Structure 1
Amino acid sequence: MLSTALLGVGAAAVLGSATAQETPPSEPAPRFLGLTVAESEQVAAAAGMSLMPIRWSVRPGLAGRVVAQNPEAGSPRYADNQVLLDISTGLRPSRRPALEFRTTGGAAYCQVQTAAEPVDDLVCWHPRTGNMVRMPIGTGLGSSDLFRNVRGAKGARPKGFRTVGFGASWRRGRLNCYSNRKALTCSIDDLHWFRLGRVKGFSARGE
């Protein structure tokens, strides 16, 4: 190996600059799936990472647990050492009173899903049938999707949801949900809407 004396001062400076620019490969991201928020904070701190604002996924089961992470476990970390986590509501109260409600008698329950892309979704379920409906909260987006007989949704009548009584409405931005004795109707500027019957029945329109 040539010494820096033989290479000269200029060459030694170039070698020193190249060495300084070399960075060790990023450690892989740890696994957060299945952890609670508190457990995730501990794992992130131990790994020298920080959590981005939590996103909520409205689905049965695994209440309060991580159901998705970005970057994925074992993948290279982001340059800022942050991790994005999706937490399942488990169809239970998520301690976001302004973002969840039920209709009189618990005929239907709804929660805002912030784990959606590119905008939030409104997700409602019908405990009597187990049907769930998802509608994007935004203008110019697609129509509502209906999922029938969702395991875990049938019979799910959690306590702690704000009640929207007959003749009352729940609003979020341009979204309006109106409850009466026959159905829950949610709409966005009358361009997109769905109707979930108190006993049975579903209809929707999207432009």
Structure 2
Amino acid sequence: MADIWLETGLSGTPALFTYTEIPIALVVLAIVALLKLIRNNHVAMVVNHALILVGFLLCFCTSLAYANQMLEPITWMVLNGIGLYLAYVPFTSSLFERLIATFNRPANVGFLTYLADSFGYLGTVGVMLYQSVSTSEVNWNTFLTQLSIVSGLVGGVLTLGSLLFFIKKEREERSNSPALPLAGAIN
């Protein structure tokens, strides 16, 4: 993050980290907290997917706008951060719980969360390896912008595919088992 600020010309201000990270934390925390108010697991599964999709689209759109100099660096970092965490936090904190409850399967959300987190850490290691073996100087501002555009687009498509898959799967299960209700409420 310090390297990104350096490349935008805004380095040397420690308060910049606080100024950008607090709004991100508050917005994402409020949205994820509101997810707990949804009692119907099917609805919550769809809303989780929608939030993840909005997060990816926010990353894509704001990074594209920033790359075309339509957004200031601070605005971009806040909006991109909200998008990144909006895609990540519902995915690792409540989507798996709601999927398990929607399909009424015995499962352990801990394993699924661990598996998802491990891929996140693998991505971090990949970036560090790239930095270590790259012979050219890495412009982290450009790197984050391009990564946000690509991951926003790819993540959005995959999230939409996931949502459509699970909706279809739930309909198939309901049609094969008339006794199965449409995702009951959480106890």
The TM-score normalised by the length of structure 2 is 0.22
Kindly name which structure, 1 or 2, has the bigger radius of gyration based on alpha carbons.
1
Q: Write 1 or 2 for the structure with the bigger share of strand.
A: 1
Q: Write 1 or 2 for the structure with the bigger share of helix.
A: 2
Greater RCO (Cα-Cα under 8 Å, separation 6 or more):
2
The TM-score normalised by the length of structure 1 is 0.20
